[in-house]
Structure 1
Amino acid sequence: MEWYLKFILVGFSIALPVGAITVEMTKQGLKNGFFHGWAVGFGGMTIDALLILALYFGFAQILSLPYVQLPLWVIGAVFLFMLAYDSIKNADKDITMAGGKVNRSLAKTYRNGLLVAVSPGNLVFWVSIFGVVLADSYSQSGQASFIISALGILTGILLHDVGLLSVVSITRKVMSRAMIKWTSVVAGVMLFGFGCYFLYEFYVNVQNVL
């Protein structure tokens, strides 16, 4: 139990820094409520779980290869630019005020979470940081400890998402439509910024490879 709680704290702590997933979760939570915000987070957790499986089956070395990571920076940037454009263009659309009926599909919101999470930043993070942590837990105590560690990390991320979206849901009740609209615009600008950062990382990595 102590081991599990330890990795819950680890998972919670890594989810705290503001990233593209947090921005998209907050935007969807404000526009369409708790469950749509959480659908984004669940999309991100789906990718996290798949990466844990990849680490478990030894695919970490493949993911860490420069020639594998390079195209992922560009793909990640393209996805973020698409989401940024959609966020700004449709800032005044798909807004459901507190208590209203939501028309947006949960599946589309979940897809956004997947697109944001399929980024080299996320992949590199899992391979470089948690690949070491999970591999260490596996080597020390075997398969059972690896599973407990992975579940603890995912639980920590889940607790962060639920906590964040609970605050967003409360905040949403006192926000006007115009305020939510401009929040969506700001979110789009931030996603565009993350996309530019990905392209910068692509450029730096190309220089290193060459």
Structure 2
Amino acid sequence: MELALFLKSMLVGFSMSAPVGPIAVLCIRRTLVFGRLSGLVAGVGAATADSVYAMLAGMGMTLVANVLMEYHTVLRALGGVALLGMGITTWRSAVSCMRLPGASSGFWSTYVSTLLLTLANPLTLFLFAAVFASVGMDRFTPNYQTAVLLVGGVFLGAVLWWFLLSGLINCLRGKFTRHVLEVINRISGVVLALFGVAALVSIIVQ
């Protein structure tokens, strides 16, 4: 029973991280510019946030969930503004400032920024709840052991995805010319800005 819960949690964590979104764009860009470790750190920040939402969804912490949803508009607005700002900054940044892998000193800020960006979308909480129900994980009795297995599985599954993604991008990194990297940098900036605009527009039209 415990092993089944852990393996299902890993699968959920992996599959929830795989769709391409703003965090994936950030992870890819960090890997290209600063190296694999920086990209992985960005992914770990997102995995941490996913684990928090997975715990809330799996353990049925309705009070916290209600508070998050009450302020979901504010959170989404902050996330949208942050993504828009990141997009503009990314567009304007020059690839000539590229550093060698491991030379970046901004690992902590990278981790915190992706953690907060992921937490800024509390709808992830209900997505986790829906996925848990679809694979039968909602039938497990909520307790301390269940929480540890669920959170640990989701975290490891998500980290595994980011480890594979950053590793793949890092392998391709040396094949790109500076011009190609500059183009990727610009595309990343546009994509991040569009994600930010989409988040802000969704607030207006909801």
TM-score interval w.r.t. the shorter chain?
A: 0.7 to 0.9
Q: Is the 8 A contact 2:37 2:102 kept in 1?
A: no
Instruction: Give me the identity figure in percent.
Output: 23
Distance in 2 of aligned mates of 1:94 and 1:109: 17
CA–CA distance in 2 between the matches of 1:201 and 1:17? 19
Contact 1:41 1:113 in 2 (8 A): yes
Instruction: Tell me, in whole angstroms, the C-alpha distance in 1 between the residues paired with 2:65 and 2:116.
Output: 20
Q: Which residue of 1 aligns with 2:162?
A: 161
Q: Does 1:76 align with 2:79?
A: yes
Inter-partner Cα distance in structure 2 for 1:140 and 1:152: 14
Q: Is 1:26 matched with 2:28? A: yes
Write the mapping of 1:122-133 to structure 2, written as runs, cut at 5 A: 123-125=122-124, 127-131=125-129
Closer, same or farther: CA 6–50 of 1 in aligned 2, 3 Å: closer
Q: How does 1:169-184 map to 2 (within 5 A)?
A: 169-184=170-185
Contact 2:81–2:200 (CA<8 Å) still a contact in 1? no
Distance 1:93 1:84, change over 3 A: farther
Match of 1:111 in 2: 112
Question: Structure 2 vs 1, CA of residues 93 and 110 (structure 1 numbering), >3 Å: closer, same or farther?
Answer: farther
Offset, 1:52? 4.3
Using the size of structure 2 for normalisation, the TM-score is: 0.84
State the partner residue of 1:43: 45
Unaligned runs of 5+ in 2: none
Give the secondary structure class of the aligned counterpart of 1:64.
helix
CA gap of 1:104–1:184, structure 2 versus 1, over 3 A, is: farther
> Which stretch shows the higher mean deviation, 158-167 or 2-11?
2-11
Cα distance change, pair 138–2 in 1 and its aligned pair in 2 (3 A): closer
Aligned counterpart, 1:95: 98
Cα displacement (A) at 1:23 = 0.3
Q: Provide the rounded CA distance (Å) in 2 between the counterparts of 1:132 and 1:202.
A: 23
1:60-106 Cα deviation digits (max 9, x unpaired): 122123xx111122111110011111111113243135xx6724422
- CA deviation after TM superposition for structure 1 residue 138, in Å: 6.5
- TM-score, scaled to structure 1: 0.83
Moved more, 45-54 or 75-84: 45-54
Whether the 8 Å contact between 1:95 and 1:177 is mirrored in structure 2 is no
Q: Which moved more, 1:45-54 or 1:18-27?
A: 45-54
Sort the Cα spacing of 1:83 and 1:131 in 2 relative to 1 into closer, same or farther, 3 A.
same
CA apart distance, 1:168: 0.7
Cα distance, 1:150–1:133 mapped onto 2, change above 3 Å: farther
Higher mean alpha-carbon deviation, 20-29 vs 134-143, is at 134-143
Contiguous gaps of at least 5 residues in structure 1? 206-210
